[in-house]
């Protein structure tokens, strides 16, 4: 006899799930009955928020949904922050939890881990939350979740299974087949209208977001065909390689880049929300698109938010880019202005390069040093100064190599557990896993510091680069600039090297570029995590010498 919990694991295997994150508890042990005999790897975080961040990082590097097994009540309230980050960034995540038995739902009888309505609590950070009222529903609900991941706007999905349903006999469900949904094609009429506008544009420009990350080759060819400068959101970094002459980076929050966008007569926005944290990071507005705006998104609702389109197309980004390429290669293109395209993009890059101040240059040098030693590295960031700088100045060679929590939902403590998940999900062309670097500040690391023990246990060689400025320096600056006397920002910072070693990690503090290079080389030879602490002031002095 196979129970619902055992069948669930088998069906997840059929969908290609290879990794689960979770903390076993009395309300989830029936999920683990089938897990031990499966091919699915399990990693135990030290907090359910860590499980969610690990699943998020895994999804971003692998392109597959991150899966979590979470206990009723406190487990679900703990993971909602991670679900909020994934929801904001459209990351596929499947959270499977237990819940009270069907006869006890909403009973208010003081049962262990009881919530009045767990599904309603989680619904705000999920594409949908479903309570499985019988084992027979399981294949259909999983099909809904994976249909969304495969062909819709991917966001977290929550499935809760009552304790009595978990142990129901469900042998007949073992033969259930997984769904396989194709992504939406591009409507020919909308493609024709967009193609006409792009073909006749004198100054076309492309704004690409994380929703277009799988369309990088097609988007690159489209930009080259149109001689269109390309601006990328943070989650789209790497869609064009660093040296591409049409790349203008992720600098849309800067005055010079906004001026270029304002010059464009036709703007193609693909897979992007056109939202505040990618375009108006100053939170003061000012990003304008006076040209004709063409929007492509998998989510119909998103095509009309923030900036109304001249033409909108609801489609998968890759399918849409292929359709535009096919039609545009058959059309005569208007002669571009000789001061546009590569010429204008080069002028902007030179202007920005001349404008960076000393801290920005020092932090960029830090990132470039890491990349020189680890050219295949994936950078997973928190809200910390080198990440803010890298969002503007750093451009990886390939997609899925730079992501962080400084935009969108903006959680602290994200980078460490997300980096663990990113390593588990990452794969290079040769089949090996890429090195994964966690960029995090001393304040943010204290949110999820125990996850170092998870990395030790799972033998994940994540490299934690701790940027230590002794507190919440960015918030302190913000308070001072607004004439608010700083309170609560000068926090106690522990001896991170000693703490990391106590948790089983290799750890050291460095104070020079050469020491950083040597520490990175040693870290790549280890089969467990390494913490490298960089004192902000010491680094600034070392770079200045």
Domain shared by 371 and 447, yes or no: yes
DSSP, residue by residue, 57-97? HHHHHHSS-EEEEE-TTHHHHHHHHHHHHHHHTT--EEEEE
Domain shared by 207 and 294, yes or no: yes
| Mean pLDDT computed over 64-80 | 96
| Mean pLDDT computed over 524-530 | 94
Domain shared by 160 and 63, yes or no: yes
- How much is the pLDDT for 542? 83
253 versus 111: which is more confidently predicted?
A: 253
Predicted confidence (pLDDT) per residue in 144-172, tens digit: 999 999 999 999 999 999 999 999 998 89
- Look at residues 320, 319, 475 and name the one whose alpha carbon lies nearest to residue 406: 475
- How much is the pLDDT for 381? 97
pLDDT at 108 over 90: no
Q: Is there a contact between 154 and 148 (Cβ–Cβ < 8 Å)?
A: yes
Number of domains, the chain: 3
| Mean pLDDT computed over 331-343 | 88
| Mean pLDDT computed over 351-378 | 96
- How much is the pLDDT for 337? 78
Domain shared by 301 and 375, yes or no: no
Is 323 part of any domain? yes
- How much is the pLDDT for 331? 83
Mean pLDDT of all residues belonging to the chain: 94
Give the CATH number, domain containing residue 95: 3.40.50.970
- How much is the pLDDT for 280? 65
Is 180 part of any domain? no
- How much is the pLDDT for 281? 66
Residue 236 is given by DSSP the state: G
Token readout for 214 is 């799988």
Domain shared by 169 and 43, yes or no: yes
Domain shared by 150 and 206, yes or no: no
Is 183 part of any domain? no
Of the three residues 353, 383, 410, the one that is the final residue of a domain is 353
Q: Is there a contact between 17 and 178 (Cβ–Cβ < 8 Å)?
A: no
Predicted confidence (pLDDT) per residue in 265-276, tens digit: 999 999 999 988
Q: How buried is residue 110: exposed, middle or buried, by Cβ count under 10 Å (0-12/13-18/19+)?
A: exposed
Residue 159 pairs in a beta bridge with: 96, 130
- How much is the pLDDT for 215? 97
- How much is the pLDDT for 467? 96
119: three-class secondary structure by DSSP: helix
Domain shared by 328 and 386, yes or no: no
63 versus 286: which is more confidently predicted?
A: 63
Is 182 part of any domain? no
pLDDT at 471 over 70: yes
pLDDT at 531 over 90: yes
pLDDT at 338 over 80: yes
Spatial CB neighbours of 497, under 8 Å, sequence gap ≥ 6: 507, 508, 509, 531, 533
3-state helix, strand, coil in the chain (%, to 5): 45, 15, 40
- How much is the pLDDT for 334? 84
Is 325 part of any domain? yes
Domain shared by 334 and 389, yes or no: no
Give the CATH number, domain containing residue 321: 3.40.50.1220
Q: How buried is residue 109: exposed, middle or buried, by Cβ count under 10 Å (0-12/13-18/19+)?
A: exposed
Domain shared by 438 and 339, yes or no: no
| Mean pLDDT computed over 49-63 | 98
Signed CA dihedral, 75, 76, 78, 79: sign only: positive
| Mean pLDDT computed over 466-478 | 89
Sheet with 311-314: list strands edge to edge. 230-232, 204-208, 266-270, 292-297, 311-314
pLDDT at 380 over 80: yes
- Look at residues 27, 171, 45, 157 and name the one whose alpha carbon lies nearest to residue 101: 27
Is 181 part of any domain? no
pLDDT at 446 over 90: yes
99: enclosing H helix or E strand: strand 93-99
Predicted confidence (pLDDT) per residue in 24-43, tens digit: 998 899 999 989 889 999 99
Q: pLDDT confidence of 344, banded at 50, 70, 90?
A: very high
Domain shared by 393 and 328, yes or no: no
| Mean pLDDT computed over 178-207 | 95
Spatial CB neighbours of 401, under 8 Å, sequence gap ≥ 6: 237, 238, 377, 378, 379, 434
Of the three residues 306, 338, 353, the one that is the final residue of a domain is 353
Q: pLDDT confidence of 527, banded at 50, 70, 90?
A: very high
| Mean pLDDT computed over 336-364 | 94
Residue 3 pairs in a beta bridge with: 169
pLDDT at 394 over 70: yes
Domain shared by 143 and 216, yes or no: no
Q: Helix H segments across 240-383?
A: 255-263, 276-279, 317-328, 342-353, 358-373
Domain shared by 10 and 93, yes or no: yes
Spatial CB neighbours of 49, under 8 Å, sequence gap ≥ 6: 78, 79, 81, 82, 413, 417, 448
190 versus 337: which is more confidently predicted?
A: 190
- How much is the pLDDT for 456? 98
pLDDT at 282 over 60: no
Q: pLDDT confidence of 335, banded at 50, 70, 90?
A: confident
Is 41 part of any domain? yes
Percent of all residues in the chain with a pLDDT value above 70, rounded to a whole number: 99
| Mean pLDDT computed over 117-125 | 92
Q: Is there a contact between 408 and 88 (Cβ–Cβ < 8 Å)?
A: yes
Cα–Cα distance, 92 to 319 (Å, whole number): 20
Cα–Cα separations (whole angstroms), residue 235 to 81, 209, 254, 380, 400: 19, 6, 18, 11, 8
Q: Which domain holds residue 502?
A: 358-544
- How much is the pLDDT for 283? 58
Of the three residues 291, 321, 353, the one that is the final residue of a domain is 353
């Amino acid at each position: 006899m196979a129970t619902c919990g055992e069948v669930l694991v088998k069906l997840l295997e059929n969908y290609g799930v290879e990794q689960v994150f979770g903390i076993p508890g009395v309300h989830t042990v029936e999920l683990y009955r089938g897990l031990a005999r499966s091919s699915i790897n399990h990693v135990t975080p030290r907090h359910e928020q860590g499980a969610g961040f690990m699943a998020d990082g895994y999804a971003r590097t692998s392109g597959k949904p991150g899966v979590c097994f979470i206990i009723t009540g406190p487990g679900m309230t703990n993971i909602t922050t991670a679900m909020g980050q994934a929801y904001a960034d459209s990351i596929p995540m499947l959270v499977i939890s237990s819940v009270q038995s069907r006869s006890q739902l909403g009973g208010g009888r003081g049962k262990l881990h009881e919530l009045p309505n767990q599904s309603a609590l989680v619904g705000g950070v999920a594409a949908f939350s479903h309570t499985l009222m019988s084992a027979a529903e399981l294949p259909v609900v999983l099909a809904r979740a994976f249909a969304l991941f495969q062909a819709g706007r991917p966001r977290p999905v929550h499935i809760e299974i009552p304790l009595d349903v978990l142990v129901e006999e469900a042998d007949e469900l073992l033969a259930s087949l997984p769904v396989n949904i194709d992504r939406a094609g591009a409507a020919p009429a909308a493609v024709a209208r967009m193609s006409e506008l792009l073909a006749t544009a004198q100054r076309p420009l492309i704004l690409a977001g994380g929703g277009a990350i799988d369309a990088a080759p097609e988007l690159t060819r489209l930009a080259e065909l149109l001689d269109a400068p390309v601006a990328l959101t943070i989650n789209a970094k790497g869609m064009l390689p660093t040296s591409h002459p049409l790349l203008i980076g992720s600098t849309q929050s800067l005055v010079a880049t906004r001026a270029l966008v304002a010059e464009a007569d036709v703007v193609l926005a693909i897979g992007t929300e056109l939202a505040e944290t990618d375009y108006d990071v100053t939170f003061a507005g000012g990003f304008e698109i006076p040209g004709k705006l063409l929007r492509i998104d998998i989510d119909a609702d998103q095509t009309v938010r923030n900036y109304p389109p001249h033409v909108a197309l609801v489609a998968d980004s890759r399918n849409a880019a292929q359709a535009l390429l096919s039609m545009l290669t058959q059309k005569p293109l208007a002669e571009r202005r000789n001061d546009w395209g590569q010429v204008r993009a080069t002028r902007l890059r030179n202007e920005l390069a001349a404008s960076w101040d000393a801290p920005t240059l020092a932090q960029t040098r830090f990132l470039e040093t890491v990349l020189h030693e680890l050219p295949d590295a994936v950078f997973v960031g928190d809200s910390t100064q080198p990440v803010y700088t890298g969002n503007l100045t750093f451009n990886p060679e390939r997609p899925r190599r730079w992501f962080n929590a400084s935009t969108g939902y903006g959680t602290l403590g994200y980078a460490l557990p997300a980096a663990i998940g990113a390593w588990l999900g990452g794969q290079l062309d040769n089949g090996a896993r890429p090195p994964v670097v966690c960029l995090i500040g001393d304040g943010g690391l204290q949110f999820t510091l125990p996850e170092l023990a998870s990395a030790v246990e799972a033998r994940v060689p994540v490299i934690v680069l701790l940027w230590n400025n002794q507190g919440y320096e960015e918030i302190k600056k913000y308070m001072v600039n607004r004439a608010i006397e700083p309170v609560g920002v000068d926090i106690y910072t522990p001896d991170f090297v000693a703490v990391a070693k106590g948790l089983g990690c290799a750890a050291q503090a460095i104070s020079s570029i050469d020491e950083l290079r040597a520490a990175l080389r040693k870290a790549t030879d280890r089969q467990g995590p390494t913490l490298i602490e960089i004192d902000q002031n010491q680094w600034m002095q070392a770079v200045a010498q």
